[in-house]
Every structure is written in C-alpha cells, then in structure tokens.
Amino acid sequence: MKFALKILKDFPAFLWSGWGAVASILLFIALWDSGNQVYGDLVLPSPLETFKTLHAMLNDANVIAEIKTTLYRASVGFGISLLFGTALGLLAGFFATASMMSRPIVTILVGMPPIAWIVLAMIWFGMGDETVIFTVIVASFPIIFVGALQGTRTLDGDLKEMAKSFGFPWHMKFLDVYFPHIFSYVFPAWVSALGMAWKIVIMAELLATSDGIGASLATARSQLDTPTALAIVTIMIGSLMFIEYIILEPIKREVELWRD
C-alpha cells in the first residue's frame, strides 16, 4: 500500500521527465507529414487523416469489439506464460539439473521464428482463438522462463549465509532475501514478454483468424485502405506505449531504486 502511494506520488515528476519523449514523438509526426507531402495519400496518408480515421474507428462498436477480441487473446496467452513461465523458471532455477536440462529446450523455443509456430499452430488447431493464444504463449513463455531461471540461479550465496547466521525464519528468507533479487530479474522479463505478446498476437491474427485487430489489418491491406492500416498501427503502438511508459516504467523505477 505504502509502495503504491509512493508510485503515485512520484508520478507527476515522472511525467514531467517525459517531455523529451513528447518532443521526439512530435518530431516523428512532422517527418511523417513531410513524407505524406512527398509520396501522396495512397502510400502514406497524413497524420491528420490517420488520426481522423482513428477517431472514427474508436467510436465504432465493431472496431471496439475487434480490439476486445485481440485483448482477450493476448491476455490469456500472456497470463498463461506469466503463470507457468514464472513458476517453472523458479523451480528449474532451484535445481541445477533441471536448469541444465531446460537450456536446450529454451534455445529451441527462443530460436524458432514465431511465423513457423503460427504455421504449425494453424495445422494443429485450425483457424481460431487457440492458434493465436498458442503462438502468444510459445513466444512469450521462454522470455519469462529465462528471467525467472536467471533470478534464482544468481541468488547470492553470501547473503543466504548471512540470513542463516541471523536465524531468519523461512518467510523472512523468502520475502527479504530471495524475493527482491528474483523479482528484479522477473519483472523486466514480464515487461519484454508483454511487448512480445502484443506484437505476436497481431501477427497471428493477421494470418490465422477472421477477427481481431490483426484480421482488420489484413482486410485493410487487401482493400488498399492505408489510412485504416495506419490507424490500426497507431492503436497498437499507442497501447503498447501506454502500458510500458505509463504503467510499467513507474513501477520499475520504484522496484529498482536500490540498483546502481
């Protein structure tokens, strides 16, 4: 609770520090607009037109429904990865044999391109929710798993010994010695897995479903509806930036205050 308050208290200062980011976004939009003047509306619609389309889309119940579908798939996939990736990663980290055995599997999972997973998933599950959710899971699970594994593998033996010498009861060992260290590895892994999940969900939808934002993007492409395509891209990037900078970054700052 105290912690949540601290995050809220530091929030205005954090926003103020975001002016640099705002400036660079504005610069980017200016470049975009000059691109529009050079290449014309069909290739690159102007920012204004894109934002108008975006506004219209956000007021359209159908579009909102598509966004909800995508959100649902991404959350289920990411949620499962979060739960199992963290739990299994921690477990594997505590046993030397398990962490050695899991390494090649992780290498395969990380090394396999998501597009290959999508193709396999389409064969296994057909066109629908399962394919998308499966792809999100295989793409984000290894990131979280590795984070949790690294967190437990790198626990400091000296600090464990210190805890033992002062007779810390088990709950203190966990909460005060192990948890903060592990969390400093797991949390950034969650953040990058979330970004990954959000990108993969669109890609999987584009190829394997007839609903969701990804499918809308596919439709826009086939109709050469560039403003809609760009508006969808804006939704994707905007939501990712919102989650990352407005929600996760302030938490990360507080959590990692003690780091160099």
Partner 1 sequence: MERLEVKGLNHSFGFTKILHDINFTLNKGEVLSIVGPSGGGKTTLLHLCADLLDVEEGSVKNTFLSTAFAFQEPRLLPWKNVIDNISLALIAKGEKKSEAIKKSQEIALRFGLEEDDFDKFPKDLSGGMKQRVSFARALVTKPSLLFLDEPFSALDIGLKKELQSVLIDMISKKELSVLFITHDLMEAIRLSDEMLLLKADPGHIVKKFKFDIVQNQRDDKYVYGKSAEILQDSEIINTFELELKS
Binding segment for partner 1 (CB under 8 A), chosen from 25-33, 37-45, 117-125, 154-162, is: 154-162
Q: How far is the CB of 4 from partner 1 (least distance, A)?
A: 17
Helices (H), the chain: 2-16, 19-39, 47-58, 61-94, 96-111, 114-125, 129-153, 157-165, 170-172, 179-208, 213-222, 226-241, 249-255
Written as one string, the DSSP assignment of 150-173 is HHHHT--HHHHHHHHHTT--HHHI
Closest CA to 145 of 99, 89, 195: 89
| 58 makes contact with partner 1 (CB under 8 A) | no
Residue in 29, 159, 240, 251 binding partner 1, rule: CB under 8 A:
159
Q: How far is the CB of 192 from partner 1 (least distance, A)?
A: 22
- Specify the residue, 153 or 181, whose C-beta has the smaller distance to partner 1: 181
Q: Which 209-248 residues touch partner 1, going by CB under 8 A?
A: none
Closest CA to 46 of 55, 56, 37: 37
Residue 175 DSSP label? I
Binding segment for partner 1 (CB under 8 A), chosen from 13-21, 72-80, 105-113, 163-171, is: 163-171
Give the span between the Cα atoms of 147 and 132, in whole angstroms: 23
Q: How far is the CB of 52 from partner 1 (least distance, A)?
A: 48
Binding segment for partner 1 (CB under 8 A), chosen from 42-50, 80-88, 158-166, 202-210, is: 158-166
Q: How far is the CB of 66 from partner 1 (least distance, A)?
A: 43
Q: How far is the CB of 1 from partner 1 (least distance, A)?
A: 15
40 CB neighbour count, 10 Å cutoff: 11
Q: How many residues bind partner 1 (CB under 8 A)?
A: 20
- Specify the residue, 2 or 111, whose C-beta has the smaller distance to partner 1: 2
